[in-house]
Structure 1
Amino acid sequence: MRTVVVTDPPRADAGDAETLGDFGVATVHEALGRVGYLGPAFRPAWAGARIGGTAVTVLCWPGDNLMIHVAVEQCRPGDLLVVATNSPSTDGLFGELFATALAHRGVRGVVLGSGVRDVAELREMGFPAWSTAVSAQGSVKATAGAVNVPVVLGGQRICAGDVVVADDDGVLVVPRLDVPRALSASRARLDKEAASREAFRQGELGLDRYGLRDRLADFGIQYVSHDEFAEAER
């Protein structure tokens, strides 16, 4: 692993990142063709936050948060800190003191492929955090890693400056160059969902709106009366 801090990487527009955050993980994920989702292992430390930010990536050793301290200096308003370890770790690498430092710099939240702690304090501060574990286990500051290099979380490659969207449904990455497509596709999906929502309020069935009724026979689905079913089960 190369021990390097990459300074001033190109970033997606912070306003675009915030807009994608407002759209939400499920909407953007579906709009992009169901790609970029980090998977169900990444859960919020507290419920209700919905954010989008530009990634500052950190690669740490397990149980060692030295490089998070290094990364704080590289953060700008609108960023979202993304922390990976070079082998599996559940240790609590991030807590309230880090959140205080990052909040001062306008950072919108943190995503960790490891543990988070001080959950009550993070909730009280309103600082959003997603992680694969909650753990009081502390860490050392002893081994060099890297900042703003590509990292992999949940099978997804995340580069500095990419947009990361996170909410109660999980975490999603949108590559920086794919942000314009994500914006237009997400807006189109929201318009489509709004029309479907109104149709459902009026009583229309998904079977008809989505053209599923005529396809049921292709799935082998049959409609039978209760008496027919009971007779067949005898």
Structure 2
Amino acid sequence: MSRHVIVRTARRVPEDVLKGLAEAGSSTVHEADGRRGAVGPELTPIQAGARVAGSAVTVSCHPGDNLMIHAAVEQVRPGDVVVVTTTSPSTDGMLGDLLATSLRARGAIGVVLDAGVRDVAELREMGFPVWARAVSTQGTVKASPGSVNVPIVVGGQVIRPGDAIVADDDGVVVVPHERAAEALDRARARTVAEDAKRDRLAAGELGLDMYGLRPLLEQLGVVYVDEQ
């Protein structure tokens, strides 16, 4: 029989690092961290404009059963993002407004859910961010064991408790705990560089020239011709 555990851990990314990662946004952090950590386009936000970064509280559930999300609530600290997966693919509505209310009371700032979400209108009214695989009316039971704060896989990415989760309109990115501060430094440098490029593009400079792409076009055999 498999061993199911609820791990109590204090492993968290420092608050100032998380704040910086949220300001940078998921796409910039992804690029800055060597184009790593993107969980893929299948998980989408249920609302526009949400931007969060928090330490991961990870949850492994039986499909169609949200017992372990309830168990995870106790392990949440202010600023955490709860990340849920199932042991086989599921689109059942694993989380609604009642469970979100409980999570928020413990300080959770959002949920990444590799399954379905429901009560979407209520969650939007609450302003509680959720990134989910599906929206589904299908409910769940509370009957099967799972684990909390163990390594899980979402969208091909290994997510460990305490890793940094960055999520916004572009999607979700995970940065390993030990690399979070370095990723922030690189994201800030990238933001400065992008601001300078934005100014040049706004002034009318072409990307072909700014990025030095004309020699590449020539190398690839792309030629200019005038229409007759």
Alignment RMSD, CA only?
0.8
Aligned-pair CA distance for 1:9: 4.0
Partner in structure 2 of residue 168 of structure 1: 169
TM-score when scaled to structure 2? 0.98
SS in 1 for 2:36: coil
- TM-score normalised per structure 1: 0.95
Aligned to 2:91: 90
Deviations for 1:52-83, whole angstroms, at most 9, x for unmatched residues? Answer: 01000000000000000000000000100000
Q: Following TM superposition, by how much is the alpha carbon of 1:33 offset from its aligned partner in structure 2, in angstroms?
A: 1.5
Give the paired residue count. Answer: 227
Give the counterpart letter for 1:208 in structure 2. Answer: D
Shift of 1:222: 0.7
- Cα distance in 1 for residues equivalent to 2:23 and 2:196: 19
Map 1:116-131; keep pairs closer than 5 Å. 116-131=117-132
Structure 1 window deviating more from structure 2 (16-25 vs 34-43): it is 16-25
Q: Which residue in the other structure is 2:70 paired with? A: 69
Q: Residues 127-185 of structure 1: CA distance to partner in whole angstroms, max 9, x if unpaired?
A: 00001010010000000100000000000000000000001111000000001111110
Q: The residue matched to 1:226 in structure 2 has which SS?
A: coil
CA deviations over 1:175-218 (Å, ceiling 9, x no partner) = 00001111110001000000000101111111111111121111
Question: Paired residue for 1:232?
Answer: none
Cα deviation for residue 14 of structure 1 reads: 2.5
1:121 & 1:23 partners in 2: Cα distance? Answer: 28
Question: Quick one: which amino acid aligns to residue 167 of structure 1?
Answer: D
Distance in 1, matches of 2:110 and 2:17, equals 16
Amino acid at match of 2:171: G
State the alpha-carbon separation in 2 of the partners of residues 168 and 19 from structure 1: 17
Which 5+ residue runs of structure 1 have no aligned equivalent?
228-234
- Contact 1:12–1:161 (CA under 8 A) maintained in structure 2: yes
Query: Equivalent pairs: percent with the same residue?
Result: 57
Query: How many angstroms does 1:220 deviate by?
Result: 1.6
Matches within 5 A, 1:51-200: 51-200=52-201
CA distance in 2, matches of 1:27, 1:186: 6
Aligned to 1:26: 27
Structure 1: distance between partners of 2:15 and 2:3? 28
Match of 1:215 in 2: 216
Partner Cα separation in structure 1 for residue 24 and residue 3 of structure 2: 36
- The aligned amino acid for 2:170 is D
Query: Residue 179 of structure 1: SS of its match in structure 2?
Result: helix
In structure 1, C-alpha distance between the alignment counterparts of 2:107 and 2:15, rounded to whole Å:
11
Residue identity opposite 1:78 in structure 2: G
Contact 1:9 1:160 in 2 (8 A): no
Cα contact 1:9–1:148 (8 A) shared by 2: no
Aligned partners of 1:2, 1:20: CA distance in 2, in Å?
35
Matched letter for residue 121 of structure 2: A
User: 5+ unaligned residues in a row in structure 2: which ranges?
Assistant: none
Distance 2:220 2:40 in 1: 29
